[in-house]
A = this chain, B = another copy of it.
Amino acid sequence: MRPSGRNPDQLRPIRLTRGFTRHAEGSVLVEFGDTRVLCNASVEDRVPPWLRNKGRGWVTAEYGMLPRATGSRTDREATRGRQQGRTIEIQRLIGRGLRAAVDLEALGERRVVVDCDVLQADGGTRTAAITGGYVALADAIQTLLDKRRIRRNPLHGHIAAVSVGIHQGMPVLDLDYAEDSEAETDMNVIMNEAGHFIEVQGTAEGHAFRRTELDSMLDLAAAGIDELVAAQRLALER
């Protein structure tokens, strides 16, 4: 029995609210149950120095957590003067994931930054950020298409992410904080709509996991991603 009463293969309620703030080209509040992440995609007409004059664009992500998004307050990274290792690891993962959905040449020499700020955390913030960030990115790119600043849609398919793990010996989908904090294995999976892998990151927290356990987790992830892509489609059609 999971702490939340969910079935092993059951996602938390997923909500994707587009236009959550008004300035960003794409602004999506994504909720995986009690995890709430605000994903703002900003389009800038310049690329990082190492990409200049190469005819290609760039997609990157930054991740932050409001100090009291968590059960006890964590120090503000701006005050400490540096981002924590965990933050850097996560924002690099989100950036790699989202870039996998974009034809950077079709984007042209511009940069899209997807800021993922966690308003409330309950496990799975990075997978929520990727899933919601994709919708914000799609909205931002749509503004470029609408203004005819790019001709061809640089998005080549959906990208979504979900966590899977082994909790009390049982493979489960989309862990909340209660499960995550006592899981034996924790895995984040990013896949595209065709069910192929963009990124797989699995870590044994307790004992090492077996190939059969890995296989079960990947099966759960694939099914979860299907539902998340469907939710993204529904949100984007509205």
List the interface of chain A (C-beta within 8 A of B). 21-24, 27, 34, 36, 38, 40, 42, 44, 62, 64, 66-73, 76-79, 81-83, 85-89, 91-92, 96, 100, 113, 115, 117, 119-121, 187, 191-192, 194-204, 207-211, 214, 218
- Which residues from chain B contact A113 at a C-beta distance below 8 Å? 67, 73
Contact A204 B208 (CB under 8 A): no
Contact A119 B89 (CB under 8 A): no
A64 to chain B: closest CB distance in Å? 6
Q: How many copies does the complex hold?
A: 6
Contact A66 B40 (CB under 8 A): yes
Contact A62 B40 (CB under 8 A): no
Could you tell me the distance between the alpha carbons of A196 and B208 in the complex, rounded to whole angstroms?
5
- Which residues from chain B contact A204 at a C-beta distance below 8 Å? 100, 196-199
